[in-house]
Structure 1
Amino acid sequence: MRAWQQKGRTTSTRPIHSFETGDIEYSPHWHDEIEVVYVMQGRQRVGLNQDSYTLGEGDLFLIHSGQVHHYAPLPEGSRVFIIQYGLTLYDELAEKVRVRIVAQPHIPKPRQGEDGKLYMRLLKPVLELYQESLQQDQECPLAVKASIYELMKIVYRDVPHQVYSGYEQTRHRTKLERLQHVFDYVEAHYANELKLNQLAAVSNMSVYHFSRFFKEATGMTVGRYITSYRVTEADRLLQLTDVPVTEIAYRCGFRSIPTFNRVFKQLRGCSPSAVRKINLS
């Protein structure tokens, strides 16, 4: 999967995709689908553009088409249910939806005494879709469509939005194209030494402007993104292969084993050796 653009799991014949997962971690990416996140248990951190949100149990989060976002786990862990649906479901309204951005993406579970009407209206079809996802082979396509259309209606009509102007839409697409070049370069060269001036050159920007651009677009520094990408690749190799830990460290761009162990533990909460032992058991 390309780092810069997550290939949505929806298709023209199946424009809806949902799944349950835990402790989700995903580097900055974007896709054309609208994404709805429901935290079933624990807490989950979500980055949206330059902003970071900590979602609590019961919270909902809305990610619009084309928005750069990432996920980071928290120590207490989480279980989340994610729904993705394509803009094609909106038919003739699709282009209008494309330029409407959710003004307040985080919709927390209301506390006692708070107005929770919008939250409860959104939660109902989300829970219906979750229950249908548990049916597996007995899932009813008609029930899924009914719930997703109810969810779409509420998101379109009742959730506060901001509207992109034509200029803002063009500027946004240009930003995504620039990110494409940078993410592609990191994906191809993460095993080697990566310097800031190299990535700035890839994006055809000065080091100063590139650093600001990247942080504003993704919510993290270039260095943190590279480190996160390397650790994610190392984690994947630890779980899916029997390649020695030392070799994995060097394959993923770390030039020192102590540094690899320290950084991995900072981001994953355990050592690379512990991940390998869990996988072997």
Structure 2
Amino acid sequence: MRFLSALLAIWTGLAATAAAQVGAPTPDAIGLREAVTPVMESVVEFHTLVMYIISAIVILVMILLLYVMIRYNRRANPTPSKNSHNTLIEIIWTAVPVLILVVIAIPSFRLLYLQDVVPEADLTIKATGYQWYWGYEYADLEIGEFYANMVADEDIDEAAGQLRLLSTDYPLVVPVDATVRLNVTAADVIHSWAMPNFGLKIDAIPGRLNETWFRAEQTGVYYGQCSEICGLRHAYMPIEIHVVPQDVFDAWAETAAEDVDAGRTMIAEYQAGVRETRMASR
């Protein structure tokens, strides 16, 4: 009983850690990141559907192979069959894969449509990839372009919740439940803006403006990275997004319009309060 209690405590602690860092990768994690947008929810559903289909195919093929190995080996079948083909079997192994592909294709096209068609947006943000950091502009707000660089190892503040290789000095801030249009480009070479919890990965190409969207339905801090090899420091240009309530975002936007450093301090203080509340509720 004492062992079981200890095991339960460890499991609870791991679950709490995972919940506290919902938008960050965790050690020994298996599977996709938690979905916090409609697109990512559809990605997870499609992934699950395809996994069921693949598993069924693998099991069926394994059973057929075992049956053939046992039924038609030299000892069990000393006189080999002279049949060259079987019309019914050939029709089955042609028709069934076609039906399987149709079953996969329908939700696949629906997901592509969901990703590519941008709904009416509440907010428009332009993300520009540089070697090796990201620049952000809020098209609807009077906030000048600011740049998000990775926080160096020696500057990491663990007490403030910063994570090595993932935290940036000027994070992106968006309101929860708001439809955000994201325009992505690059100033030098090809980069890629990727946010796993949002189900997003879109290339940033010089001279071209790619467009996507997201609607984060859960507050928190979420992390992504450049996902296109772009040079020496490709692994050191992370993406950090703070999804906050609308009133907090409005206050941040008003502050950042006057002084982006003051806006950064304000959002850091807000997240510190969130962490204290979370710790107190445990």
TM range (shorter): under 0.3
Whichever of the two has the greater Rg, that structure is 2
Q: Which has the higher contact order (CA 8 A, sep 6+)?
A: 2
With normalisation by structure 1, the TM-score equals 0.23
TM-score w.r.t. the length of structure 2 is 0.23
